């Protein structure tokens, strides 16, 4: 049986990670992998997480299964984090299942969509997170793209986006990033969110919101403003969330899939299908990471400390967005990099061509993916001069 298999290409980011690890250049910089890094280039365990883990170690009393929906306290607290005191919660229209990370949430959502409409097509932004398309196709769903990022002007193709989505079928699903768009960093503004929400209501397509970076853009509430507006406007909504970035729980794989239905009775039906999907994929989620999040959000002291740490991470990212722009201009680079400050989250396209990207890697050991998407958090005060000098040389 196995002899019939053909080798598949390595994921570009995973290949980049492997090449970076093998590089012996002491000045090497990894701008490819999508994790937060501090000034020393580490991805730290948050202080609030450490304290929550210590509490859990001391107070955990069982290793029994936690059920299909996972930690129900975690699910309730995630709903509040995402939606605030939204009318959908007050009307008992929201159901949530804990999932193994944001990727697990998306796969659960894909299978849920398939149960709702076997012929559904999922529309994603051009570009989008590379794994989106394969996740939906693996569930047997068709995937199409709609215009989003303007590579030439470093902005949104918003009018083109809306014109395309006007023709989406009622039974289809449109995926949109709530904030910190991966990979472009370009987000909708408040007025654009209003236009999009009204379009979803008028056309009747279902919106799937991917919110993997809440708190990494402007603030926890501001980053969820578009999501909450959608929940105000449409009767049905799918939300895929992740705690990898804002809680730093990458390897714990903590996420959630939330379904907002038209009423409480329909929500119960949706929940039964959602849990059936969970049962058929992984049966029950792991406990550790969700317990950490629930412990933090259940403690005023730990929540306050987490907010402070989240502010520090977001502040560092935004600081280096400004520094990259300023330092490149001071070094005499004629290309305008001011767009970096208009973007949100960890990612940005630098607008480099393939030759320039290859030179950065081979001559300077600076690693980024082939689209020139960079993780801004990979820059530090310690490597800024080296990065700027390399950019000046390859942009000549």
Instruction: Check whether residue 26 and residue 158 sit in a common domain.
Output: no
Q: What is the pLDDT of residue 353?
A: 94
Name the 3-class secondary structure at 52. Answer: helix
Q: What is the pLDDT of residue 256?
A: 98
Instruction: Check whether residue 193 and residue 126 sit in a common domain.
Output: yes
| Pairing, β 366-367 against β 94-100 | unpaired
CATH code, domain carrying 20: 3.90.1150.10
Instruction: Check whether residue 254 and residue 136 sit in a common domain.
Output: yes
Instruction: Check whether residue 218 and residue 325 sit in a common domain.
Output: no
Domain end point (choices 298, 333, 361): 298
* Residue owning tokens 């990212």: 317
Look up the pTM and report it: 0.95
Q: How many domains does the chain have?
A: 2
Of 117, 326, 394, 345, residue with least CA distance to 214: 345
Instruction: Check whether residue 123 and residue 226 sit in a common domain.
Output: yes
Work out the angle between the directed axes of helices 225-233 and 72-83 (0-180°, nearest 10). Answer: 90
Residue 210: active-site member: yes
Q: Which residues pair with 254 in a beta bridge?
A: 100
Q: Is residue 50 in some structural domain?
A: no
User: What range defines the domain where residue 270 resides?
Assistant: 65-298
Residue 23: active-site member: no
Instruction: Check whether residue 37 and residue 119 sit in a common domain.
Output: no
Residue 129: active-site member: yes
Mean pLDDT of successive 10-residue segments in the chain (396 residues)?
A: 89 82 94 92 96 96 96 98 95 98 98 97 96 96 98 96 97 97 96 98 97 97 98 97 98 98 98 98 97 98 98 96 95 93 94 95 94 94 96 93
Q: What is the pLDDT of residue 31?
A: 95
Instruction: Check whether residue 288 and residue 362 sit in a common domain.
Output: no
Q: Which of 123, 129, 193, 306 is catalytic?
A: 129
pLDDT one-digit tens code per residue, 146-195: 999 999 999 999 999 999 999 999 999 999 999 999 999 999 999 999 99
Q: Which of 172, 187, 210, 291 is catalytic?
A: 210
Q: What is the pLDDT of residue 11?
A: 77
Contact 96, 78 (CB under 8 A): yes
Q: Which of 51, 154, 245, 325 is catalytic?
A: 245
Domain end point (choices 298, 331, 350): 298
């Amino acid at each position: 049986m196995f002899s019939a298999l053909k080798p598949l290409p390595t994921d570009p980011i995973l290949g980049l990670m492997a090449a970076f690890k093998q590089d012996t250049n002491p000045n090497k910089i990894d701008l490819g992998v999508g994790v937060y890094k501090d000034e020393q280039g580490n991805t730290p365990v948050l202080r609030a997480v450490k304290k929550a883990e210590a509490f859990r170690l001391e107070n955990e009393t069982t290793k029994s299964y936690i059920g299909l929906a996972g930690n129900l306290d975690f699910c309730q607290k995630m709903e509040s984090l995402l939606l605030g005191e939204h009318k959908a919660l007050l009307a008992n229209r929201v159901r949530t299942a804990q999932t193994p990370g944001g990727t697990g949430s998306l796969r659960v959502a894909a299978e849920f969509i398939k149960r709702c409409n076997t012929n559904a097509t999922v529309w994603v932004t051009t570009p989008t997170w590379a794994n989106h398309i394969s996740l939906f196709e693996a569930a047997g769903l068709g995937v199409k793209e709609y215009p989003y990022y303007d590579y030439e002007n470093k902005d949104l193709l918003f009018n083109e986006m809306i014109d395309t989505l006007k023709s989406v079928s009622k039974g289809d699903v449109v995926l949109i990033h709530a904030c910190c768009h991966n990979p472009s960093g370009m987000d909708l503004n408040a007025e654009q969110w209003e236009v999009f929400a009204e379009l979803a209501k008028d056309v009747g397509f279902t919106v799937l919101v991917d919110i993997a970076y809440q708190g990494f853009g402007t603030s926890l509430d501001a980053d969820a403003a578009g999501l909450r507006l959608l929940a105000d406007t449409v009767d049905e909504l799918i939300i895929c969330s992740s705690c990898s970035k804002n809680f730093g729980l990458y390897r714990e794989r903590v996420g959630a899939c939330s379904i907002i239905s038209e009423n409480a009775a329909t929500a119960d039906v949706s929940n039964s299908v959602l849990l059936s999907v969970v049962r058929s994929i992984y049966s029950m989620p792991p406990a550790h990471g969700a317990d950490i999040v629930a412990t933090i959000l259940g403690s005023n002291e730990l929540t306050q400390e987490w907010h402070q740490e989240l502010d520090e991470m977001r502040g560092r990212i935004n600081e280096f967005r400004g520094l990259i722009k300023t330092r490149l201009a001071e070094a005499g680079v004629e290309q305008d990099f001011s767009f970096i400050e208009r973007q949100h989250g960890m990612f940005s396209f630098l607008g480099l061509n393939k030759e320039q990207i290859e030179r950065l890697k081979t001559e300077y050991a600076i690693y980024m993916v082939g689209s020139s998407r960079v993780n801004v958090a990979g820059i530090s005060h310690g490597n800024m001069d080296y990065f700027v000098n390399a950019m000046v040389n390859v942009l000549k």
